[in-house]
């Protein structure tokens, strides 16, 4: 069910070997690297039957529902491959779009419940994902996040059927990404890695993946701030994001993600920024949890070379331009947010809370 992965500079060449007898329908973001895109078009040639530009930003329920219905209506007899090239928002969008159904409520009926089987009135098209940012990991997870900004809620579209068939992770797509996008994407990936360590579903494999991801991201991201043309750092960040995504796809995310959603829904703070701003506080909670020495050790192995403490991490984030919640001053507001988040599905994945927070 999980996608086959191609990683590395020029891994887009792999596209020539995939589905040689099928047509391709491409969805991509407007900011795509023109040169790399031309290479892709050159490889697929006349097999491209349609090309669409995704301009919606974070996928919003009403907009995705409408686009899904419209695309399904125009696409019913088509068995082409869907190729999605973009960041997490685009990839989450095409994960929905690859299911063609003439039921206008199809998406609504399949949110927040695992999609393990596709009904006969629905066509599931092959899906190839190519991330243009190093962060979200969406290319290898069986989850799409669908926001509802009108009703201020967040939904998950997930299940074994939601995984893409192939993920092609080519850092060339990230070469032109501006600093803020590069930073926020990398911090989303760092959050995935740490959240999979302080997670009740963690295992030896996820810890190994997450530790490697943390080390790549924490060492390379500051280098990117100095030089956005550092291609070795770009490759390392792509690798880190992929490893973090692989860990997260097994454990799911945890408390920092849960805490972040309100910042994104209320103020449209970027997902990576919102998650990162909670990392020092959540790490502090791990440290304050009794009998949690093993998890603390795992965290130290992952990020101990870079930060001695949550305050140290907050300083590092500050240097990158991220204002985080203060781990040394758990204000009533912070405590209330934690209290709300801990009973959410993601919050319940968190390894623990200190007694004081249990009694809020």
Q: Does 188 bind Fe ion (CB under 5 A)?
A: yes
Q: Which of these ranges, 50-58, 107-115, 181-189, 236-244, lies near Fe ion under the rule CB under 5 A?
A: 181-189
Least distance between Fe ion and beta carbon 192 (Å): 6
Is-contact 241 213, C-beta < 8 A?
Answer: yes
Q: Does 139 bind Fe ion (CB under 5 A)?
A: no
Query: Among all residues, whose Cβ is closest to Fe ion?
Result: 188
Kindly report the backbone phi and psi dihedral angles of residue 94, in degrees, each rounded to the nearest multiple of 5, phi listed first.
-70, -20
139 vs 129: CA distance, rounded Å: 6
Least distance between Fe ion and beta carbon 136 (Å): 6
Give whichever of 11 and 136 is closer to Fe ion, judged by the CB atom: 136
Bridge partners (DSSP) of residue 153 are 148
Least distance between Fe ion and beta carbon 273 (Å): 11
Whose CA is closest to 165, among 125, 116, 111?
A: 125
Q: Which of these ranges, 140-148, 154-162, 180-188, 228-236, lies near Fe ion under the rule CB under 5 A?
A: 180-188
Q: Which of these ranges, 47-55, 157-165, 183-191, 225-233, lies near Fe ion under the rule CB under 5 A?
A: 183-191
Least distance between Fe ion and beta carbon 220 (Å): 18
303 vs 309: CA distance, rounded Å: 10
Residue 16 contacts by C-beta under 8 Å, 6 or more apart in sequence?
43
219 vs 214: CA distance, rounded Å: 8
Give whichever of 170 and 188 is closer to Fe ion, judged by the CB atom: 188
Helices (H), 45-98: 61-75, 88-97
Residues near Fe ion (CB under 5 A), total: 1
Least distance between Fe ion and beta carbon 141 (Å): 10
Binding site for Fe ion (CB under 5 A): 188
């Amino acid at each position: 069910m999980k996608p086959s992965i191609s990683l590395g500079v020029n891994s887009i060449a792999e596209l020539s070997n995939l589905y040689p007898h099928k047509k391709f329908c491409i969805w991509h973001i407007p900011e795509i690297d023109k040169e790399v895109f031309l290479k892709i078009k050159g490889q697929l040639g006349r097999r491209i039957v349609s090309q669409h530009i995704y301009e919606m930003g974070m996928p919003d329920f009403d907009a995705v529902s409408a686009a899904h219905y419209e695309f399904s209506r125009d696409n019913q007899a088509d068995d082409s491959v869907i190729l999605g090239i973009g960041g997490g928002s685009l990839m989450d969008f095409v994960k929905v779009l690859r299911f063609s159904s003439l039921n206008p409520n199809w998406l609504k009926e399949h949110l927040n419940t695992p999609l393990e089987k596709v009904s006969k009135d629905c066509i599931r098209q092959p899906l190839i994902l190519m991330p243009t940012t190093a962060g979200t990991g969406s290319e290898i997870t069986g989850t799409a996040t669908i926001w509802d900004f009108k009703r201020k809620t967040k939904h998950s579209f997930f299940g074994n059927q939601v995984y893409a068939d192939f993920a092609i992770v080519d850092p060339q797509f990230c070469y032109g990404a501006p600093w803020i996008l590069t930073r926020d994407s990398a911090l989303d990936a760092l959050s995935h890695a740490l959240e999979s360590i302080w997670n009740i579903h963690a295992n030896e494999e996820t810890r190994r993946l997450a530790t490697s991801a943390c080390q790549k991201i924490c060492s390379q991201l500051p280098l990117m701030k100095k030089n956005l043309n550092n291609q070795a750092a770009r490759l390392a960040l792509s690798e880190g994001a992929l490893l973090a995504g692989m860990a997260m796809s097994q454990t799911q995310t945890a408390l920092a993600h849960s805490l972040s959603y309100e910042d994104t829904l209320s103020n449209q703070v970027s997902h990576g920024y919102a998650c990162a701003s909670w990392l020092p506080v959540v790490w502090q909670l791990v440290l304050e949890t009794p009998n949690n020495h093993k998890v603390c050790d795992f965290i130290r192995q992952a990020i101990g070379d870079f930060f001695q403490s949550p305050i140290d991490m907050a300083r590092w984030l500050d240097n990158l331009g991220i204002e985080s919640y203060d781990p040394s001053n758990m204000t009533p507001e912070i405590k209330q947010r934690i209290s709300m988040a801990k009973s959410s599905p993601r919050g319940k994945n968190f390894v623990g809370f200190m007694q004081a927070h249990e009694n809020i």
